[in-house]
Amino acid sequence: MAVPTPASPRTADLRGGLAQVILATLASTIGFWAWMSISPLQQTYATEMGLDEGQISLMLATPVLVGALGRIVIGAMTDRFGGRIMFTVVLLLSAPAVLLVALAGSIQSFPLLIIAGFYLGVAGTIFAVGVPFSGAWFPPERRGFATGVFGMGMIGTAVSAMATPRLADAIGYLPTHLIIAGALIAMAALVWILMRESPTWEPNREAFVPKIVGALKLPVTWEMAFLYGIVFGGFVAFSNFLPKYLTTIYPEDVDVLGAGARTALFAAAAVIARPIGGVLADRFGPKVVSLVSLGGIVSLAYIVGQQPPEGIVTGVTFIMMAAAMGLGMGAVFAWIGPSTPKDKVGAVSGVVAAAGGLGGYFPPLIMGATYSPETNSYSLGLWLLVLVGAFALVVAGMLRDAPRKGG
């Protein structure tokens, strides 16, 4: 992605940058709402279409796959065309996807729902637009703050979990999707009218393939992609699958609306923790924060695997897990900048962001494949998370910490 020279942000007039980043964050919020709009209604789809565990898992995972891999392409296009154009394009392209999901649900067609979910993944690529756009509005030493603020657009996951089932219950399935599509179009218009590029931004016309190949040759790309695949991938997977998990494991205690509320709290905890993770990484080093994050994920996944009674323990465990994931997200992106050549930071960030989304694709499939109806348990899938997280903890401990500022 285009990275200005170190001097240019200091000499350019960057006034109004925070307002632009907040606008980008709002656009991301709407995009995430659309991206995660299938998950809160998964029980409705399962009941009306007679879906089994494998089909439900595929339905939940499909938008995540496209949203992950598409980030590489959308990030490169943002380098060339800028955030204003690409935010508008992604938002407008996502609206028909939401309407196609509405059609699939209305006629109760599972194949069409999978196709619609594939298309809906476009909405998840919006993250790749905002990272370079937001970073360009701030000098190098404050880019962590800028991307941290933009990263709070993940709150769209909580909006979806909280609002989508309540709207569907209050006004109906089809009107709910019309509202989401309308919000995407309205946000696209707002972006087109109010958004402007940073004075430091310049179109990057470097060929896409050589740029990505250059990033893939760097060890830091693979290291950070692996870590981000766990912390952000875990967040995406749980945000997507948590309503299904709660209504399956605790059917007598948690209904669809209750599961949505708990998922919203989960997402909010990660959103709040993400910028905190970046600040702590600046102060203590990203390696330390990453180790704390992964240690927390491993410990808390083990507790979840024991299926404690639904209530305070379960709620606190999931919120703490989300916070641990949020800390890790902030730490990984704080690790990338100082550990990567300046001309490759954007490309590396795009690949890492894609790996994070891709990390959210497989867990729902694994959870569905390892579910035991005899014991009503997802414990095997959660044990796999514990093992992968423990391996990541070892890997992170072996990595060299990012160079400290001024050192």
Q: Please tell me the distance from the alpha carbon of residue 268 to that of residue 258, in angstroms, as a whole number.
A: 15
Q: Is residue 171 included in any domain, yes or no?
A: yes
Contact predicate 239/63, CB 8 Å: no
Whole domain around residue 156: which residue ranges?
8-398
- The pLDDT of residue 33 is above 80: yes
DSSP 1: -
Indicate the residue type of 50: G
Per the DSSP assignment, residues forming a β-bridge with 372 are 377
Is the pLDDT reported for residue 362 higher than 80? no
Contacts of 273 (CB under 8 A, 6+ apart): 322, 323, 324, 325, 326, 327, 329, 330
Tell me the two tokens of residue 396: 């992170």
How many separate domains does the chain show? Answer: 1
Mean pLDDT (whole number) for 125-149: 80
- CATH code for position 276: 1.20.1250.20
d(CA 346, CA 72): 10
Is the pLDDT score of 159 beyond 70? yes
Can you tell me the mean pLDDT for 397-405?
77
Q: What pLDDT is attached to residue 189?
A: 97
Q: Is 220 within the bounds of a domain?
A: yes
Q: Is residue 209 part of a domain?
A: yes
Is 264 domain-assigned?
yes
- Name the strand (E) or helix (H) holding 14: none
Report the percentage of the chain scoring pLDDT > 90.
35
Whether residue 2 lies inside any domain: the answer is no
Out of 25-39, 71-85, 247-261, 365-379, the most confident range is 25-39
Q: What is the pLDDT of residues 258-288, one digit of tens each?
A: 888 888 888 889 988 988 888 888 788 889 9
364 lies in a domain?
yes
Residue 62 domain-assigned (yes or no): yes
pLDDT (mean) for 92-106: 96
What are the pLDDT digits (tens) for 13-27? 677 888 999 999 999
Residue 30: per-residue pLDDT: 97
- Residue 170 is assigned to a structural domain of this protein: yes
pLDDT for position 4: 43
Q: Is 376 left (phi over 0), alpha (psi -120 to 50) or beta?
A: left
